[in-house]
């Protein structure tokens, strides 16, 4: 694989040539920050406009679902969060924001790199069975309505997860990422432009968000692209471990799991692994 390069981000370089009307038009950039989601939540409470982008080259307290950390060497990925103010969206449908952002990220990857990632329930992008990206959505409510939503995406672009010493310096001792994580550069055998990916992602989000606002749910397309469905799986959920066939997902994004008892379990969150055949 060729030597990887790092693009210099700044508010000016991000805005130059950005093909959107409002998504990403207000941008906050940090070389390093604890968490772009945390920073954007504070900005949301202070009145930041819809479409505000928070982006960093490095996160020192980045996290995924269930409080896990997100590891990425500095300058190697896209670590970003977007602010939505969808007061018109029913709280029960808030997961559709995660769906549209995951689809926009997958589309951007294909457009810029030619690679075709799959989706894994509930919020991951996969390449060659390894994790390429994760999505984390956090919500705030005003009474029974959504006040705002922050959707964070961590996308591995030019990291080399086979470089264990570099990962140890970035994340502490003992990461086992070489077997579980992948980057676009690793899959493509060449570096990929983070700026072009960012612009494609923001444009895709704006298009899909307009579709959602007009009543076109991303649910059907998202469900059709889930590699999880139709598989015998084990789901480690907050309330226990489930086994069965991943039959489908409902409009709210919940996994519908057909269990050996014949009952359908509706699971809102959890980690899915394929069940080993015996």
How high is the pLDDT of residue 71? 55
The pLDDT of residue 121 is 95
The β-bridge partners of 84 are 149
Query: What pLDDT, on a 0 to 100 scale, did the predictor assign at position 18?
Result: 96
pLDDT of residue 69: 58
CA distance 107 to 89: 24
Q: What is the pLDDT of residue 278?
A: 52
Q: Does the structure show a pLDDT above 70 at 242?
A: yes
What is the dihedral angle through the alpha carbons of 221, 38, 29, 213, rounded to the nearest 10 degrees? 30
pTM: 0.90
Q: Which residues pair with 237 in a beta bridge?
A: 240
Q: Tell which phi-psi region holds residue 59, choosing left (phi > 0), alpha (psi between -120 and 50) or beta.
A: beta
Most confident of 59-73, 163-177, 232-246: 232-246
Query: pLDDT band for position 62 (50/70/90)?
Result: low
Q: Is there a contact between 60 and 86 (Cβ–Cβ < 8 Å)?
A: no
Q: Is the separation of the CB atoms in 78 and 194 below 8 Å?
A: yes
Q: Distances in Å between the alpha carbon of 161 and those of 128, 224, 252? A: 14, 29, 34
- pLDDT (0 to 100) of residue 4: 45
Q: Is the pLDDT of residue 66 over 60?
A: no
pLDDT confidence of residue 204: 98
Q: Kindly indicate the confidence band of residue 265, based on its pLDDT and cuts at 50, 70 and 90.
A: very high
Q: Which two tokens stand for residue 161?
A: 């997860």
Residue 101: pLDDT over 50: yes
Instruction: Give the Cα separation of 56 and 62 in Å (integer).
Output: 10
- Domains, the chain, ranges and CATH? 11-223 (3.30.930.10), 228-274 (2.30.30.100)
CA angle centred on 125, ends 121 and 131, rounded to 5° = 105
How high is the mean pLDDT of the chain? 89
CB 135 within 8 A of CB 153: yes
* b/e burial code for range 77-109 (CB count within 10 A of at least 16 → b): bbbbbbbbbbeebeeebbbbbbbbbbbbbbbbb
- pLDDT for res 2: 38
CA distance 4 to 67: 30
Kindly state the average pLDDT of the residues 185-208: 97
Q: What is the mean pLDDT of residues 109-133?
A: 95
Contact 4, 76 (CB under 8 A): yes
pLDDT surpassing 90 at residue 107 = yes
Query: Quick check: 242 and 265 in contact, CB under 8 A?
Result: yes
More confident residue, 162 or 198: 198
Query: Mean per-residue pLDDT for 204-224?
Result: 97
Q: Which of 263, 225, 264 is nearest to 255 (CA)?
A: 264
Spatial separation of the C-alpha atoms in residues 151 and 169, rounded to whole Å: 28
Confidence of residue 178 (pLDDT cuts 50, 70, 90): low
């Amino acid at each position: 694989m060729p030597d990887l390069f790092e693009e210099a981000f700044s508010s000016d370089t991000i805005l130059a040539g950005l093909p959107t009307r409002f998504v990403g038009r207000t941008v906050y950039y940090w070389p390093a920050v604890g968490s772009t989601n945390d920073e954007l939540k504070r900005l949301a409470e202070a009145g930041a406009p819809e479409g505000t982008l928070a982006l960093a080259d490095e996160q020192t307290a980045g996290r995924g679902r269930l409080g896990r950390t997100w590891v990425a060497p500095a300058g190697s990925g896209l670590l970003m969060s977007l602010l939505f103010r969808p007061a018109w969206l029913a709280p029960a449908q808030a997961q559709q924001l995660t769906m549209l952002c995951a689809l926009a990220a997958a589309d951007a990857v294909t457009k810029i790199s030619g690679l075709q990632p799959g989706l894994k329930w509930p919020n991951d992008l996969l390449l060659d069975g390894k994790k390429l990206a994760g999505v984390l959505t956090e919500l705030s409510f005003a009474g029974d309505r959504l006040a705002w939503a922050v959707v964070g995406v961590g996308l591995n672009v030019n990291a080399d997860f086979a470089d264990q010493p570099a990962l140890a310096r970035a994340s502490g001792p003992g990461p086992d990422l070489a077997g579980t994580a992948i980057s676009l550069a690793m899959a493509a055998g060449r570096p990929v432009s983070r700026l072009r990916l960012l612009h494609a992602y923001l444009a895709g989000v704006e298009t899909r968000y307009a579709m959602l606002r007009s009543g076109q749910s991303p649910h059907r397309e998202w469900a059709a692209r889930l590699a999880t469905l139709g598989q015998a799986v084990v789901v480690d959920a907050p309330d226990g471990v489930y086994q069965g066939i991943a039959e489908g997902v409902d409009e709210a994004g919940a996994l519908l799991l057909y269990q050996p008892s014949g009952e359908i379990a509706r699971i809102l969150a959890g980690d899915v692994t394929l069940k080993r055949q015996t």
